[in-house]
Structure 1
Amino acid sequence: MNDVRVLVVDDDFMVARIHSGYVSRVPGFEVVAVAHGGADALAAVAELRPDLVLLDIYLPDMSGLEVLKSLNDVDVLMISAARDVATVREAMRGGAVNYLIKPFTAAALAERLRQYAETRRRLTAIGPQARQDDVDRLFGAPKQAAPMPKGLSRATCALVAEALRDAGGDLSAAEAAELTGLSRVSARRYLEHLCASGRAELHPRYGTAGRPEHRYRWLG
């Protein structure tokens, strides 16, 4: 994947330079330009088409929140000394992917940038259509554990989950049974439970004839 192209927007020339240095030290990110006002920021986005804008709120010609509302097809990470909840709420409503309060350390910004890069990676990996569990992982929704069916044990379920996770691809019930020492029927029941709980998914594999083979893949 190509580097994330970043536009840094801050009215303070020295602060903009410092923040640009922070960004440049994070692998996978590059600063493509720096702007010191709202109009300059909008012009730079239109010309350079960055992936991400680090946007200050207090700009000399307009509020960064106004700039945020005017931007399309670009992600925005707000950086500001503003701590009031109303401002944070407005940034969220405007579509900001994150909000970092000044002053902050290089490590704090790097953490947010890595989170952003991971979200981009997950979106790319999903493909053109998302399942609900894909969306839940992107938005950080907590998983609800499916109740353990009668006759299954959590210890054995953990064993099957470990085998599926370590496989690095997909497994059939027969392959999972061989890895865990279970019968194929028991292995299939545990695999089906993992699918029901959102930790695995079923992939039918179609051969030249007959019924498709059920393959199971770990989701985490």
Structure 2
Amino acid sequence: MIRVLVVDDDFMVARVHTGFVSRVDGFEVVGTCHSGADAVTAAGELVPDLVLLDLYLPDQFGLDVLSELRRAGHDCDVMVITAAKEADAVRGALRQGVVDYVLKPFGFEDLRERLERYAAQRDALAAAQVRGQEDIDRVLSRGGSAPAAALPKGMSPQTARLVESALRAADGNLSASEAAEQVGLSRVSARRYLEYFCSIGQAEVTLRYGSAGRPERRYRWGA
């Protein structure tokens, strides 16, 4: 069983998330917390495998809690679950290695899909025998939206997941330049991944016309 710690300042929301997690096979909730300080303490006592971490906590920002967890030596994975849509929050979470970034509100099926994808990748990592880059790419893409075998030459599953996360977390849609800034790519590279997602039906593109020049291409996750 994958042990989960739910961290949310809202008692009712924490209860809902706990109920969602409990309905997914292979997962069990071992505790709930409503502040950053309690989350760090509980991580030491309960030793969860995965923390569902809200960012808007009463005593500190969630990414600071994540930093404290790492400084304390806790190697649990972290899935951010939040209403925070700011680019800095998304970028900061990705830089700190979160396994996913989920925007509230969401339904059970969305969370179930993400938890199952996380579990598949976790199992693959535990059983992996790494002989070269192909083995690493195969493990990192397990259960993801853009499997390594399907990506065009020169594109990596790791970067594809970063672009996907930025696009999913966007408030509305993103341009290639905005995605590039969030993920840390060149605009050309970001656009290549965005166009790829459109080509396989996982994203859609619209044109925004200005007063002069070429229309701007804007991307949204989900066709």
TM bucket (normalised to shorter chain) is 0.5 to 0.7
Larger radius of gyration: 1
2:6, 2:32 within 8 Å by CA — same for their partners in 1? Answer: yes
2:121, 2:140 within 8 Å by CA — same for their partners in 1? Answer: no
Which residue of the partner structure matches residue 89 of structure 1?
91
Structure 2 counterpart of 1:135, one-letter code:
I
1:123 to 115, 122, 125: 125
**Which aligned segments of 4 or more residues in structure 1 are displaced greater than 6 angstroms?**
none
Mapped partners of 1:9, 1:92: distance in 2: 18
Give identity over the alignment, percent.
54
2:128, 2:139 within 8 Å by CA — same for their partners in 1? Answer: no
2:44 to 46, 59, 77: 46
Aligned ranges for residues 156-171 of structure 1 at < 5 Å? none
Cα-to-partner distance string for 1:33-84 (whole Å, 9 max, x where unaligned): 0000000000000111100000000000011110111223110000000112
Q: SS of the counterpart of 1:67?
A: helix
Mapped partners of 1:114, 1:97: distance in 2: 12
TM-score by length of 2: 0.61
Structure 2 counterpart of 1:77, one-letter code:
M
Structure 2 counterpart of 1:136, one-letter code:
D
Mapped partners of 2:20, 2:79: distance in 1: 14
Mapped partners of 2:126, 2:38: distance in 1: 30
Q: SS of the counterpart of 1:92?
A: helix
1:9 has 2:15 as partner:
no
Which residue of the partner structure matches residue 138 of structure 2?
137
Q: SS of the counterpart of 1:58?
A: coil
2:3, 2:30 within 8 Å by CA — same for their partners in 1? Answer: yes
Tell me how far 1:138 sits from its aligned partner.
2.7
Structure 1 counterpart of 2:20, one-letter code:
Y
Tell me how far 1:107 sits from its aligned partner.
0.6
Q: SS of the counterpart of 2:148?
A: coil
Mapped partners of 2:15, 2:152: distance in 1: 47
Structure 2 counterpart of 1:12, one-letter code:
D
Mapped partners of 2:131, 2:107: distance in 1: 35
TM-score by length of 1: 0.62
Cα-to-partner distance string for 1:115-153 (whole Å, 9 max, x where unaligned): 1000011011114x453112112333634789xxxxxxx
Which residue of the partner structure matches residue 63 of structure 1?
61
Which residue of the partner structure matches residue 82 of structure 2?
80
Structure 2 counterpart of 1:139, one-letter code:
L
The CA RMSD over aligned residues, in Å, is: 1.7
Could you list the runs of 5+ residues in structure 2 that have no partner in the other structure? 142-146, 154-223
Instruction: Return closer, same or farther for 1:130/1:29 CA change in 2, 3 Å cut-off.
Output: farther
Tell me how far 1:95 sits from its aligned partner.
1.3
**Matched positions, count:** 143
Quick check: 134-143 or 31-40, which moved more?
134-143
Mapped partners of 1:81, 1:4: distance in 2: 25
Mapped partners of 1:131, 1:68: distance in 2: 31
Could you list the runs of 5+ residues in structure 1 that have no partner in the other structure? 147-220
1:100 has 2:102 as partner:
yes
